[in-house]
């Protein structure tokens, strides 16, 4: 067995994780522009409360519909032009959407899209950015999982989540710096544009990196480029390259297998992992962090600064997962994290309901973020990159990631409605959403205990035995 070339694996992983950084950056950049979007595009329409909240929520969350489309496209693209080619297209879309959403009037102003009417091209550019996020969210972890050694695959795929939370943390800080450069009026008229345009810089970096890296051995085998695949496996090191090549060829004998070839359980597990990752409420917290802290009574400056603290906690505890996912395993981390999130969200709901927000409410948010960051943030991506057999991976992962983005859209869309409802706030004082997220976290823990297998230390080809022969075959043939 050759020694793994960790320098090469790390370099390729870091290139792919730029997709994750953009995923996080573009997902959270909108948090700094929420109020400006309302002021510029929503409020001038004079809508009733319910319609206003719905349109505002849709405008903030519309990128998530693009994410669904991107995830659906990523499967065929990963098979047709490769993991690398798909990430290149995602980077190009990121770049265009960043500048377009910052200045939606530039191209469409000639058609009357000015002022509040620029809402529609703005939504179009955000949808384009969502397509890029959906593509990158599937292709980056797939790329990493397929070039990483089995014994440290969890660690390398977790770098994707570190990049995601790094992007989130970075954009919170960038948003904070931008909003301190002028007064509130400047932020509402101009500052928000700089926030959205700033995503073009990392997008350009991803474009360059995708021109330089190779595709994965599994994609090369799928396309019959056996010699190239063997040479790349030799460069990557780790397990015997010839043996690994034979295992890959064996799992890709049927290269366009029907998605139900391995039964419904593997799809059910993958889809539900994706759904639970979102309905625990993480992106409601990330998208609306400044608004949430303003509901707690913080000033605008303090709310942005507290959002930076949330991002820092996200990064720190993702690093905990980075060092433990290949030691403790996937399943224990998911259960522990879900229970932490459940307790934190229910506590936050109680604090809002009792008008007791303040220091302890901020603590509850940070604890919730910590629970997510050390578990459901990184570990779900690790599992999605691992559990699907090679011959259906593109289709199955597209389906699971699309389900994730649909769930994300529903959570993001409904948060603004729940949090902005006068009737609900009379009863719960902004607390109802957090009670719901807490309950979903408890259900997520129960789901993992019942349905999710442990995949720590197994090769991608060995994991396929679980779905081919059931748990007995898994225990007998695929033990580390």
The pLDDT tens digits of the residues spanning 241-300 come to: 777 777 777 666 545 566 676 667 888 989 999 999 999 988 777 666 666 666 666 555
pLDDT at position 48 is 80
Q: 393-430: per-residue pLDDT in tens?
A: 777 888 888 888 888 888 877 887 777 677 777 777 77
pLDDT bucket at 480, cuts 50 / 70 / 90:
very low
pLDDT at position 87 is 92
> Which has more pLDDT, 182 or 310?
182
pLDDT at position 218 is 83
Cβ–Cβ under 8 Å, residues 301 and 290: no
Angle, CA of 184, 186 and 191, to the nearest 5°: 105
Q: What is the mean pLDDT of residues 373-395?
A: 82
pLDDT at position 118 is 84
pLDDT bucket at 479, cuts 50 / 70 / 90:
very low
Query: What is the Cα–Cα distance from 184 to 36, expressed in whole angstroms?
Result: 10
pLDDT at position 217 is 84
Burial of 353 (0-12, 13-18, 19+ CB in 10 A): middle
Contacts (Cβ under 8 Å, ≥6 apart) of 356:
350
> Which has more pLDDT, 476 or 463?
463
Q: 107-132: per-residue pLDDT in tens?
A: 766 555 677 788 888 999 999 999 99
Query: What is the Cα–Cα distance from 99 to 204, expressed in whole angstroms?
Result: 12
Q: CA torsion, points 229, 21, 65, 286, in degrees to nearest 10? A: 150
pLDDT at position 39 is 86
Report pTM. 0.71
Token duo for residue 17: 């994780």
Cβ–Cβ under 8 Å, residues 141 and 77: no
pLDDT at position 477 is 41
Query: What is the Cα–Cα distance from 439 to 113, expressed in whole angstroms?
Result: 43
C-alpha distances in Å from residue 284, one per residue of 17, 287, 408: 23, 5, 8
Q: What is the mean pLDDT of residues 426-446?
A: 87
Q: 95-105: per-residue pLDDT in tens?
A: 999 999 989 88
Query: What is the Cα–Cα distance from 108 to 117, expressed in whole angstroms?
Result: 10
> Which has more pLDDT, 287 or 364?
364
Least confident of 348-352, 387-391, 463-467: 463-467
> Which has more pLDDT, 98 or 463?
98
Q: What is the 3-state secondary structure (H, E, C) of 277-325?
A: HHHCCHHHHHHCHHHHHHHCCCCHHHHHHHHHHHHHHHHHHHHHHHHHC
Residue 320 has pLDDT above 50, yes or no: yes
Cβ–Cβ under 8 Å, residues 409 and 291: no
What is the average pLDDT value for the chain, to the nearest integer?
Answer: 81
Share of the chain above pLDDT 90, in %: 17
Residue 84 has pLDDT above 80, yes or no: yes
Q: Where are the domains of the chain?
A: 6-477
Q: 17-56: per-residue pLDDT in tens?
A: 888 888 888 877 887 788 888 888 888 887 787 788 788 8
Residue 314 has pLDDT above 80, yes or no: no
pLDDT at position 89 is 94
pLDDT at position 2 is 57
Residue 144 has pLDDT above 50, yes or no: yes
Residue 140 has pLDDT above 80, yes or no: yes
Residue 466 has pLDDT above 90, yes or no: no
Helix (H) or strand (E) holding 37: helix 34-37
Residue 382 has pLDDT above 80, yes or no: yes
Provide the H-helix boundaries in 148-225: 153-179, 184-186, 192-197, 200-210, 217-222
pLDDT at position 164 is 82
What one-character DSSP code corresponds to residue 213? S
pLDDT at position 427 is 76
Residue 338 has pLDDT above 90, yes or no: yes
pLDDT at position 301 is 57
Task: Estimate to the nearest angstrom the gap between the alpha carbon of 218 and the chain centroid.
Answer: 24
Query: What is the Cα–Cα distance from 131 to 133, expressed in whole angstroms?
Result: 5
Q: Tokens 């972890």 appear where?
A: 141
Among candidate residues 379, 373, 369, the one with its CA nearest the CA of residue 334 = 379
CATH of domain 6-477: 1.20.1250.20
Query: What is the Cα–Cα distance from 94 to 287, expressed in whole angstroms?
Result: 18
């Amino acid at each position: 067995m050759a020694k793994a070339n960790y320098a090469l694996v790390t370099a390729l992983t870091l290139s792919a994780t730029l997709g994750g950084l953009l995923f996080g950056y573009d997902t959270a950049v909108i948090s700094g522009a929420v109020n400006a979007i309302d002021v510029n595009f929503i409020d001038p329409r004079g809508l009733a409360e319910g319609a206003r909240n719905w349109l505002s929520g849709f405008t903030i969350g519309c990128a998530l519909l693009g994410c669904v489309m991107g995830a659906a496209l990523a499967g065929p693209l990963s098979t047709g032009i490769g993991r690398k080619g798909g990430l290149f297209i995602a980077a190009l879309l990121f770049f265009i959407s960043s500048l377009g959403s910052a200045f939606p009037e530039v191209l469409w102003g000639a058609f009357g899209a000015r002022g509040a009417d620029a809402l529609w091209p703005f939504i179009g550019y955000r949808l384009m950015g969502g397509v890029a996020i959906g593509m990158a969210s599937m292709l980056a972890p797939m790329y990493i999982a397929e070039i990483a050694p089995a014994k440290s695959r969890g660690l390398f795929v977790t770098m994707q989540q570190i990049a995601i939370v790094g992007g989130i943390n970075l954009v919170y800080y960038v948003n904070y710096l931008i909003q301190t450069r002028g007064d509130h009026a400047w932020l509402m008229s101009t500052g928000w544009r700089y926030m959205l345009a700033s995503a073009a810089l990392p997008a350009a970096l991803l474009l360059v990196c995708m021109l330089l890296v190779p595709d994965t051995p599994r994609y090369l085998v799928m396309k019959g480029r056996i010699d190239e695949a063997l040479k790349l496996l030799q460069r990557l090191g780790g397990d015997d390259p010839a043996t690994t090549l034979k295992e890959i060829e064996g799992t890709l004998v049927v290269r366009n297998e029907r998605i139900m070839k391995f039964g419904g359980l593997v799809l059910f597990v993958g889809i539900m992992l994706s759904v639970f990752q979102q309905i625990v409420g993480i992106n409601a917290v990330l998208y609306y962090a400044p608004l949430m802290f303003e509901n707690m009574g913080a000033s605008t400056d303090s709310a942005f600064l507290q959002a930076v603290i949330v991002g820092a906690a996200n990064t720190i505890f993702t690093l905990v997962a980075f060092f433990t996912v290949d030691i403790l395993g996937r399943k224990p981390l998911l259960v522990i994290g879900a229970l932490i999130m459940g307790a934190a969200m229910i506590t936050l709901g109680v604090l809002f309901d009792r008008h007791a927000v303040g220091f302890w409410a901020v603590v509850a948010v940070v604890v919730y973020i910590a629970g997510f960051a050390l578990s459901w943030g990184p570990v779900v991506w690790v599992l999605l990159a691992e559990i699907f057999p090679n011959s259906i991976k593109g289709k199955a992962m597209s389906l699971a990631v699309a389900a994730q983005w649909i769930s994300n859209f529903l959570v993001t869309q409904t948060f603004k409605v729940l949090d902005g409802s006068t009737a609900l706030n009379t009863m719960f004082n902004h607390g109802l959403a957090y009670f719901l997220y807490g309950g979903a976290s408890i259900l997520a823990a129960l789901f993992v205990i019942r349905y999710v297998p442990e995949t720590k230390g197994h090769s991608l080809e060995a994991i396929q035995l679980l779905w081919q022969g059931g748990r007995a075959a898994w225990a007998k043939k695929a033990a580390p």
